Amino acid sequence: MTNANYLWVGIGCQRGTECEFIAAAIKHVFQQNNLLEGAITGVATINSKANETGLIEYCSMRNLPLVFFTTEQLQNINVPNPSQIVASKLETPSVAEAAAMIAASVDTLYVPKQIIRSVQNLKGAVTLAVAYSTTLKT
């Protein structure tokens, strides 16, 4: 990964997922894929997560922008791993993958969605995907 690449983390999470869980999930996925957390440009998700405390805390602690997309924006993205469960609940087949792709302005993912359901004794569940862009935009 060169300095010319900027990583966007698309994230979906269970309501009430703790900041520590989100941080640990991102750390795990980044370690598994040999990525540097310092290369994260921002975090993207669905607008219904605008008041999700864990996400807000994570981005605030790391001084990262947290960007939100509407259901309509997300449902129009062709993702590699759509979910019927997500579609039935949120009217879009993808949050993490679609949000990462829109934020990075790309049509491919560097890391397809990963679902993390357990981190130590922390509460939550996180789905995340990573896309990279060659231009910095916030």
CATH of the domain at 122: 3.30.420.180
Residue 1 belongs to a domain? no
| Rg, Å, the chain Cα set | 13
- The domain containing residue 81 runs over which residues? 6-133
Report pLDDT digits (tens) over 3-43: 446 999 999 999 999 999 999 999 999 999 999 999 999 99
pTM of the model: 0.91
Task: Tell me the C-alpha distance between 66 and 19, whole Å.
Answer: 13
Number of domains in the chain: 1
Report pLDDT digits (tens) over 46-61: 999 999 999 999 999 9
Residue 25 belongs to a domain? yes
